[in-house]
Structure 1
Amino acid sequence: MTTKKYADFIYKQTKGVCNIMVEQMFSDYVLYKDGKRIGALYDNKLLLVSTENLNKLFPNAVQEKSFDWGYYKLIHIENTEDKELLEKAVRITYDDLYFQKDFVTDISYLFKVNKRYQDSITKIYNLHITFLRFCYDKGLLKINPLDKQDRILHMNFLNNDLTENGTKIFNELYDKWLVYTDKNDDKTDDRIVNTKMLEKYYLSIIDKLQINS
């Protein structure tokens, strides 16, 4: 059994992590980030799912054998007083389990919802050629998503397809680009190839995040 006092303490120690949640389950609690479980509070102990990088952070952590969580192995995190270390442990666990496999975007979805409008399909395809080429040239994508004829090879992108800077920049840059190109007028063709606007957005984001370009 885990007390509410201990659950509140763990939440207070980890609330600096985005979208962290502690939810009661029977007499104990489950720890979630972004709606995905990363650990449990069991008998007033913090247990996190054992991952490669978490084990490097806590090389002497003991595997918890009295708590059965299917195919997951959990390790006991004893040092819960160090708030910064604990938040780091939570982020590492989530990243190892889920982050690299999370979808960033599915370009093919835009083609599906516009399949009856050929002009829109052509526009969407071309604006993505511009965007993807720019992202690869800026080192945001690990592998070039275009072939030598500038045909799009990949429609679905995971965090694992992005570089370290890509995971920080790609989503916001993509949103800005879609808003900018979401117009149909006599300047549409110029807009969807306007890399100067992409450069402006890119520089604004890296300045805000203080990232070296």
Structure 2
Amino acid sequence: MASDQTFVDFVVDQIQNAGVIHARKMFGEYGIYSDGKIFGLICDNKLFIKPTQAGREYIGTPVEAPPYSGAKNSFLIEEQLEDAEWLSELVRVSVKELPEPKPKKKKKS
């Protein structure tokens, strides 16, 4: 089941204080970015955050699950979706640990 735009807009709105946030449609679901770094996915109207040590410490005991079949586990965020301040801080501490995006290769003409 694909995620609906209403849920994606809600999540993006909740984390507006965590940098320049945008969602990008990917294979019927959405990648979520902060300042150009992908930090999570929205799949089946559920938010998944890439696991980092800082994120694990911030959450305490995270619920981990794969966002889709065959994927590695991510932090599944459910109960805290309504808490914009908590969610924004989770995104901020997680993004700090994630690597910078690789520069895109220029296409040959």
> Under TM normalisation by the shorter chain, which class is it?
0.7 to 0.9
Q: For residue 96 of structure 1, report the CA deviation from its aligned partner.
A: 1.3
Aligned partner of 1:23 in structure 2 is 24
The DSSP-based 3-state class of the residue aligned with 2:47 is strand
TM-score computed with the length of structure 1 as normaliser:
0.43
The DSSP-based 3-state class of the residue aligned with 1:22 is strand
Q: For residue 66 of structure 1, report the CA deviation from its aligned partner.
A: 4.9
Alignment partners' CA distance in 1, 2:77 and 2:66: 14
The DSSP-based 3-state class of the residue aligned with 1:63 is strand
User: Partner letter of residue 37 of structure 1?
Assistant: I
Aligned partner of 2:56 in structure 1 is 55
Q: For residue 27 of structure 1, report the CA deviation from its aligned partner.
A: 1.7
Higher strand content, 1 or 2:
2
- 8 Å CA contact retained: 2:31, 2:41: yes
Alignment partners' CA distance in 2, 1:59 and 1:65: 19
Alignment partners' CA distance in 1, 2:57 and 2:83: 17
Alignment partners' CA distance in 2, 1:26 and 1:11: 19
After TM superposition, the runs of 4+ consecutive aligned structure 1 residues lying more than 4 A away are none
CA RMSD of aligned residues (A): 1.7
Unaligned 5+ residue runs, structure 2? 101-109
Q: Which moved more, 1:24-33 or 1:90-99?
A: 90-99
The DSSP-based 3-state class of the residue aligned with 1:40 is strand
TM-score computed with the length of structure 2 as normaliser:
0.80
Aligned partner of 2:66 in structure 1 is 65
- 8 Å CA contact retained: 2:64, 2:75: yes
Q: Deviations over 1:37-82 (max 9, x none)?
A: 101001111100011111112122221135244xx64110111100
| Match status 1:13 vs 2:17 | no
Q: Which moved more, 1:52-61 or 1:40-49?
A: 52-61
Q: Percent identity?
A: 28
Alignment partners' CA distance in 1, 2:73 and 2:96: 16
Aligned pairs for 1:5-154 (under 5 A) are 5-67=6-68, 68-69=70-71, 73-78=73-78, 79-98=80-99
Q: For residue 26 of structure 1, report the CA deviation from its aligned partner.
A: 2.2
Change (3 A) 1:22 1:82: same
Aligned partner of 1:207 in structure 2 is none
Q: For residue 31 of structure 1, report the CA deviation from its aligned partner.
A: 0.6
Q: Answer 1 or 2: higher relative contact order, Cα 8 Å, separation at least 6.
A: 2
User: Partner letter of residue 77 of structure 2?
Assistant: I
Higher helix content, 1 or 2:
1
The DSSP-based 3-state class of the residue aligned with 2:82 is coil
Alignment partners' CA distance in 2, 1:36 and 1:57: 19
Unaligned 5+ residue runs, structure 1? 100-213
